[in-house]
Amino acid sequence: MAQAKGLNKPVKLKKELAELLKATELPRTEITKKLWDYIKANKLQTKTENGKPENAGKYIVADAKLLSIFKNTNAKSKSGKVTDLTNLKEGQTINMMQMAIVVSANIE
């Protein structure tokens, strides 16, 4: 059988993400899917930045479990944009476009 490559190749999860997703290795596609399942199941989406969860919208509200994952994120993109979530507080939001950066920050 051919080895999975790219997004389908299993990657090792850091401790906090592994605990949330109950797995130590997953492909990036599965990590993202499981994170969204968790966010939707817990109604952690909002239409406004730092608004109340409404289960629809482009912002993700950090609950205690997500916060432990988000706080691992301090990355610089190729364009030089810094995403630093290390001081995020419970109840604050991140833009859903930052999820890929969060996933990258939580894998080894």
In the chain, pLDDT over 90 holds for what percent of residues? 82
Confidence of residue 67 (pLDDT cuts 50, 70, 90): very high
> Tokens standing for 21?
């997703």
Task: Give a yes or no: residue 78 inside a domain.
Answer: yes
The domain containing residue 66 runs over which residues?
10-105
With b for 16 or more beta-carbon neighbours within 10 A and e for fewer, the 8-22 pattern comes to eebbebeebbbebbe
Task: Give a yes or no: residue 39 inside a domain.
Answer: yes
Beta bridge partners of 27: 10
Q: E strands along 37-77, which residues?
A: 45-46, 59-61, 74-76
Task: Return the higher-pLDDT residue of 87 and 57.
Answer: 87
Q: Give the count of domains, the chain.
A: 1
Task: Give a yes or no: residue 67 inside a domain.
Answer: yes
Task: Give a yes or no: residue 3 inside a domain.
Answer: no
> Tokens standing for 12?
């090792």
| CATH number for position 58 | 1.10.245.10
Q: What is the mean pLDDT of residues 68-75?
A: 96
Mean pLDDT, the chain, as a whole number?
Answer: 93
Task: Write out pLDDT tens, residues 19-66.
Answer: 999 999 999 999 999 999 999 999 999 999 998 888 788 999 999 999
